[in-house]
Chains A and B, each alone.
Chain A
Amino acid sequence: MKKPLTVLAAVAVLGGGYLTVAHVSGAAFWTMGLPLGGDRGILRRISMDFMEDIQFKDFVSAASYHAPELMETVDIPFLLQRLFQVRPEALDVMDYEVVLAEIDSSGLRARIRMRVRAKLLLDERIEEREFILYFYRDSVNEPWYMRLEDSLRELSPEEGMTH
């Protein structure tokens, strides 16, 4: 009876310790689907959801991480094309991960460095790219919004310049 209890206690302590570490690290480790990690955890999850949307070419959902007034203007396919130099339909996002998550001293701005591995379907080449997603919020009680409008805004014909 004593041995199973000891094993159970050890598992509970180790599990609790692991989840504490996962939380304090800002969800740098697998959180078993639990909403841990504070703000950095939230940002990691938003970034991963954003990449999943891109992986499945759901650009409307991918745009929903931006502020409501900017959702209409963000052009995710353009970002992909600029990043990989191919049209989004010729791109198969295979794998993605968060390299680094950082929040500034005010707690209102954040950046998430992402690493994406994708296959360029035209020539079956696999390439890896890193890019940074920027986030902001107006106060610590507000939700985080992605700030890609500068790089992702759809260019109007008047602005038609090369990138």
Chain B
Amino acid sequence: MSPARTHTQILAARYRDCLFSDAGGLLLLLGQAPLIGWLCSVVWGSIERDTPGLYFVLCLAAVWFGCINACREIVKERPILERERLFGVRPRDYVLSKVRVLAGVGAVQVVLLQGAVEWNLGLRGPMAVEMLALFGASLTGTGLGLVVSALARTQERAVFAVPLLLLPQILFSELAIPDNLYSDTVAVVEKLMPVHWAYRVFEESAALEPRWLMVALSFAVLVVMAAALIGAAMLALIPKREIVT
């Protein structure tokens, strides 16, 4: 087993233990997903059908969960990370250990979110595909949150940054104005939004004749976005000046 892998595993195990030791916090983290799902089913239950608006809210919620889960996780341990760096822990191993655990939390949240909606209201399209899209959105949100956490100096600033990252997801979407009215700039910026690609999966899989190639492309974009953001978080943790002992 390579030392990097060992580091990642040890750090992930420690992070997981910390997370499980705070049962109340974990419950709150996981509990928000079925709550949002239930609220969605109450709202859309009144018309007894799913609409594109519901898909958008689910995708936005998934990105939100990922982002809020991750946004404090590096900045709150900054002194520990700095100390452990002296003992050979690399930013890559550290960030990957966070991703491993947060991806698991995100997966549970996504299952609870969609499960709470489907409990009352059957959505169009295959549930597994949609759940995977929500997981992709959640993972991208986790990457976004880790970048914020790696760049922020305090936990408060990291939390304040989250709405600033999520609001554009709404602004640059079909929910704000119909896509045929987009300017070229808006059309380009929309494609940088993770919610857009998760929403495309929902939209396509719910269509009368789904274009599965487009679904695959949307998944690929979500994976690339998540990988790029996780990479950016690693880069942000590389020290500007190495400490020489």
Q: How far is the CA of A113 from the CA of B119 in the complex (A)?
A: 14
**Number of A residues, CB within 8 Å of B:** 15
Interface residues in A120-143 by Cβ distance below 8 A to B read: 126-128, 130
Known contacts A29-B115, A99-B48, A113-B48; decide if A126 and B122 are in contact (CB<8 Å). no
Contact of A42 with B by CB under 8 A: no
The answer on a CB contact under 8 Å between B208 and A28 is no
Q: How far is the CA of A104 from the CA of B46 in the complex (A)?
A: 16
Contact of B9 with A by CB under 8 A: no
The answer on a CB contact under 8 Å between A29 and B118 is yes
CB-CB under 8 A from A117, the residues of chain B are 208
Q: Is the interface of B mostly helix, strand, loop or mixed?
A: loop
The answer on a CB contact under 8 Å between A28 and B49 is no
Interface residues in A92-148 by Cβ distance below 8 A to B read: 97-100, 113, 115, 117, 126-128, 130
Contact of B121 with A by CB under 8 A: yes
Interface residues in A34-48 by Cβ distance below 8 A to B read: none
The answer on a CB contact under 8 Å between A130 and B49 is yes
The answer on a CB contact under 8 Å between A28 and B124 is no
- B120 partner, pick from A100, A115, A126, A127, beta carbons under 8 A: A100
Contact of B184 with A by CB under 8 A: no
- A28 partner, pick from B48, B122, B209, beta carbons under 8 A: B122
The answer on a CB contact under 8 Å between B121 and A99 is yes
Chain A CB count within 10 A is highest, among B48, B115, B122, B209, for B122
Q: How far is the CA of A102 from the CA of B112 in the complex (A)?
A: 22
Contact of A67 with B by CB under 8 A: no
Contact of A25 with B by CB under 8 A: yes
Interface residues in A43-62 by Cβ distance below 8 A to B read: none
Known contacts A29-B115, A128-B208; decide if A98 and B49 are in contact (CB<8 Å). no
Contact of A152 with B by CB under 8 A: no
Contact of A70 with B by CB under 8 A: no
Known contacts A113-B48, A126-B208, A128-B208; decide if A100 and B121 are in contact (CB<8 Å). yes
CB-CB under 8 A from B119, the residues of chain A are 25, 28
Known contacts A115-B124, A126-B209, A127-B208; decide if A100 and B48 are in contact (CB<8 Å). yes
Q: How far is the CA of A149 from the CA of B21 in the complex (A)?
A: 60
Q: How far is the CA of A48 from the CA of B115 in the complex (A)?
A: 20
Q: How far is the CA of A66 from the CA of B120 in the complex (A)?
A: 26
Interface residues in B193-223 by Cβ distance below 8 A to A read: 208-209
The answer on a CB contact under 8 Å between B115 and A115 is no
Interface residues in B90-142 by Cβ distance below 8 A to A read: 115, 118-122, 124
CB distance from B60 to the nearest CB of A (A): 23
Q: How far is the CA of A28 from the CA of B49 in the complex (A)?
A: 15
Contact of A21 with B by CB under 8 A: yes
CB distance from A114 to the nearest CB of B (A): 9
Interface residues in B35-52 by Cβ distance below 8 A to A read: 45, 48-49
> Which residues of A come within 8 Å of B, CB atoms?
21, 25, 28-29, 97-100, 113, 115, 117, 126-128, 130
> Which residues of B come within 8 Å of A, CB atoms?
45, 48-49, 115, 118-122, 124, 208-209
Given contacts A100-B120, A113-B48, 19 further A-B contacts (CB under 8 A): A21-B115, A25-B119, A28-B119, A28-B120, A28-B122, A29-B118, A97-B122, A99-B48, A99-B49, A99-B122, A100-B45, A100-B121, A100-B122, A117-B208, A126-B208, A126-B209, A127-B208, A128-B208, A130-B49
Can you list 5 pairs linking A and B with CB atoms under 8 Å apart? A25-B119, A28-B120, A100-B48, A117-B208, A126-B208
